Amino acid sequence: MKIAVMSDSHDNIPNLRKALAIIKSEQCELIIHCGDFVAPFMFMELKQAGLPVHCVFGNNDGDRYLLTRLAYESNGLITLYSLIGELDLGSFKIGFTHEWPVAEGLAATGKYNLVCFGHSHQHHTDRIGATTVLNPGEIMGKDGNPGFCIVDTDNQKISRIDIS
């Protein structure tokens, strides 16, 4: 299964649209967003992809009530967790959050194959024990090349996709 992992879109609709077009062309089956959408209208963009989106709040997400309501009204397309999200894809388990200290703790449990986080806007891949830790970088494009990652759960390959 191919999964798109992104973070820190910060209201950048053009970059999010570029990412979603690539995600569709790469035939990803779901999207993980590690927070900092910022405004609720970003959920309308994510919903247009027609793929399941699993996401957590970031430190810059403003109207949490409206974000929660839009996720609830998405007919199951957007699942919004609070601090930590978890996906059990059978033999592949993923934990995701926004900030590194929480991601580090999740990875240290050894419970996940992959732990994803955002916040720093910097693409980074590492290992803690048997767990791969991934920061996909930013969609926004403020601190570097905007982009995201595609994870193939079958072979555990991670590809960084630049969208600049």
Question: CA dist 147 to 8, 9, 18, 136, Å?
Answer: 10, 10, 9, 7
Segment 20-44, tens digit of pLDDT = 999 999 999 999 999 999 999 999 9
Confidence (pTM)? 0.97
Q: How confident is the model at residue 159 (pLDDT cuts 50, 70, 90)?
A: very high
Segment 61-94, tens digit of pLDDT = 989 999 999 999 999 999 999 999 999 999 999 9
CATH number at residue 37: 3.60.21.10
Cα 34 from Cα 31, distance rounded (Å): 10
Tell me the two tokens of residue 112: 């996940």
The residue range of the domain holding 128 is: 2-162
State how many domains the chain has: 1
φ, ψ of residue 30 to 5 degrees: the values are -160, 165
